Amino acid sequence: MVYLLKKDDFTFPPPQDAELSGLLAYGGDYDTQRLINAYQNGIFPWPKEGYLPLWFSPDPRAVLYPKELRVSRSLRQSLKKYEIRFDTDFEAVITNCAQSPARKNATWITGEIKEAYCKLHLLGLAHSVESYDVEGRLVGGLYGIGLGNLFCGESMFALKSDASKAALFALCQKVEKAEGFIDCQVINSHLSSLGAVEISRDKFLQKLQESLFKPVIFKV
């Protein structure tokens, strides 16, 4: 069943009510409180041009456990080429993710999404991991939402070889230290190649609730 959300009501229906596609609801907006409620309940927005906001909670769910990240020999060499920073230019990261050539203008990172996540960043809830080359240029990175020791990955980009993977490697180190894991939402061949696996939605929701009470990955 797909629910219609009202703009003055920030609650969500049970994630288990989602369709087989993972679609749970539509409508509402990208208000900060609505987004927080969504992530805390295992739900995320996946906009599509021409449609009202779409909200998903797929089953199974793709996750990446830091220790399972597949680090190739070439990536280990690439790690030496980049300086990794956290939360130094969130807006540039999300802008580059939206403009990534790999998406061929089919990006779901709309202007509304960008504005909403920049607000979450200012609140200390959305974070970026950035890769800079030897000349100090931003050449790769990723962004997502931090919930306790869970990092909900949203998107990544690379302007140079392995630049986004270098950012992911640094993130995994940080998440592993917090004994957490990374939400990858929906599995694909690229995520599988990095070591992501699928777990049931019920298991994900249980781990999510446990994560909310764990020490945070990023200090606000």
Domain ranges of the chain: 3-59, 62-211
DSSP assignment, residue 28?
S
Helix, strand, coil tally for the chain in percent (to 5)? 35, 25, 40
The architecture that CATH gives domain 62-211 is: 3-Layer(aba) Sandwich (3.40)
User: pTM of the entire structure?
Assistant: 0.95
pLDDT tens digits in sequence order for the chain, 220 residues long: 899 999 899 999 999 999 999 999 999 999 999 999 999 999 999 998 888 999 999 999 999 999 999 999 989 998 999 999 999 999 999 999 999 766 555 578 999 999 999 999 999 999 999 999 999 999 999 999 999 999 999 999 999 999 999 999 999 999 999 999 999 999 999 999 999 999 999 999 999 999 999 999 987 5
Give the whole-angstrom CA distance, residue 158 versus residue 156.
Answer: 7
Length of the chain, please?
A: 220
Name the nearest CA neighbour of 86 among 138, 141, 132, 130: 130
CATH 3.30.70.3550 fits 3-59, yes or no: yes
CB 167 within 8 A of CB 77: no
Q: CA torsion sign, 48 to 87 to 68 to 42?
A: negative
Dihedral sign for Cα atoms in the order 91, 67, 37, 220: negative
